[in-house]
Structure 1
Amino acid sequence: MFSLQTMFGQGNQFYALLEEAAVAAHDSTRALHEMLKGSERQPALDAFRLARQRERDASAQISQELVDSFITPIEREDIEALGSALYKIPKQVEKFADRYSLAIQHLEHIDFAPRAAMLEQASSVVVEMVRLLPRMKLEPMKALSDKLRALENEADRLMLELYRDIYSGKLDPLQMFLLKEFFEILEKAIDRCREAGVVAYEIVLKNS
């Protein structure tokens, strides 16, 4: 028997597309961490651009599905908000990688790897949160939200240490400028992860 469910679908493709976007974002942060912890730290920008393109493709598919679908598993505004938040993560990572490739000769003695590791951890938590969305279970989602908040707080603490280094008088003006700019890009990327996590958590709060 031909049913409305067959005709309209259940809208579960949105969960798959959001997960695809989250994984692409995570892959970009992992590529950044691998680059920065390497001994040569030579930027290979193809990995970042590939992840960014995957994110763009997933975002475009989400937008098209919102136009084409009669039924969505969660509110359309929430799908758009989460898709937008996920889209911004690899955007920040690519911004860092592009600028790093231009300024690497001035950054040889600056270790970005610990902050990049924290960003990779944060994006990994975001992937877990997006994968949990179909279950709409509040308790595990809250635990992940708390974990993401703790990572954000630790990143803020490290930023304070950074400012102590900047104003120590040991750096020349160019190094001070570059250090501040690059660490703030990483901080903003972690903030983007936190924003995506907040949207995911609020979706579960409304639907659990």
Structure 2
Amino acid sequence: MFSLQTIFGSGMQFYALLDDAAAAAYDSAKALHAMMREADRQPALDAFKLARLRERAAADKISRALVDSYITPIEREDIEALGSALHKIPKQIEKFADRYALAIQHLGHIDFAPRAAMLEQAAAVVVQMVGDLRRMNLDGMTALNEKLRSIENEADRLMLELYREIYSGKLDSLQMFLLKEFFEILEKAIDRCREAGVVAYQIVLKNS
């Protein structure tokens, strides 16, 4: 006699699709960090567009699979929540890249690389967390969640230092605006990684 899993499938394709979405988010963060390390920091937007296209393709496949699949390895609303959280990461990074391309002539004196490196680290942890969903190992997921929280806390600390510089009186109004605008976009991108990590952690907490 055939089991329901044999007839309808195990739903394990959802893990692969979520992996694809997380990898696209990481590639976007990696591209941004690489761009910020370059001496001329000329924006090459193709990498960000490609990452977004990959993430959208994964999101579309997840949506279709949720309609077509009778069985899912975790609850449908959890798959939707994680897919939505992952979607927001490359979207936020692309927002930074697009605006950076428009304002690059005013940004030569600002070093974005350290915070872009933190964003890349955060996105890498998200990739690990999504990949570890198959194992539902609470201890391992808790450790990754704490690592992501630590990155977020450090980003918050750096933002406080940034505000001290903004309000120091040493900058003109345009410099103040750009400094605040672009670093807040980066901070939100790290927050998006944190949000995705929280969803992954809660999934394991619920199913362990």
Question: Quick check: 1:46 aligned with 2:51?
Answer: no
Give aligned pairs, total.
208
TM-score (norm: length of structure 1): 0.99
d(CA) in 2 for partners of 1:33, 1:71: 39
Give 2:104's aligned residue: 104
Give 1:163's aligned residue: 163
CA contact (8 A) 2:11 2:71 kept: yes
Question: What's the offset of the Cα at 1:171?
Answer: 1.0
Give 1:82's aligned residue: 82
Give 1:26's aligned residue: 26
Q: Which amino acid aligns with 2:9?
A: G
CA contact (8 A) 2:11 2:73 kept: yes
RMSD: 0.7
Give 1:138's aligned residue: 138
Give 2:181's aligned residue: 181
d(CA) in 1 for partners of 2:51, 2:25: 7
CA contact (8 A) 2:5 2:71 kept: no
Question: What's the offset of the Cα at 1:7?
Answer: 1.6
Give 1:152's aligned residue: 152
Q: Which amino acid aligns with 1:180?
A: K
Q: Which amino acid aligns with 1:49?
A: K
d(CA) in 2 for partners of 1:80, 1:184: 27
Question: What's the offset of the Cα at 1:169?
Answer: 1.1
d(CA) in 2 for partners of 1:51, 1:122: 16
Listed as ranges, the gaps of 5+ residues in structure 2 are none
SS state at 2:61 partner: helix
SS state at 1:11 partner: coil
Between stretches 52-61 and 2-11, larger displacement belongs to 2-11
SS state at 1:59 partner: helix
Runs of 4+ with deviation above 6 angstroms:
none
Task: Among all aligned residue pairs of Structure 1 and Structure 2, give the percentage whose two residues are the same amino acid.
Answer: 78
TM-score (norm: length of structure 2): 0.99
- Write the deviation string for residues 93-119 of structure 1: whole angstroms up to 9, x where unpaired: 000000000000000010000000000
Listed as ranges, the gaps of 5+ residues in structure 1 are none
d(CA) in 2 for partners of 1:4, 1:192: 37
Question: What's the offset of the Cα at 1:151?
Answer: 0.3
d(CA) in 2 for partners of 1:93, 1:158: 18
SS state at 1:109 partner: coil
Give 1:129's aligned residue: 129
Question: What's the offset of the Cα at 1:170?
Answer: 1.2
Give 2:199's aligned residue: 199
Question: What's the offset of the Cα at 1:2?
Answer: 4.4
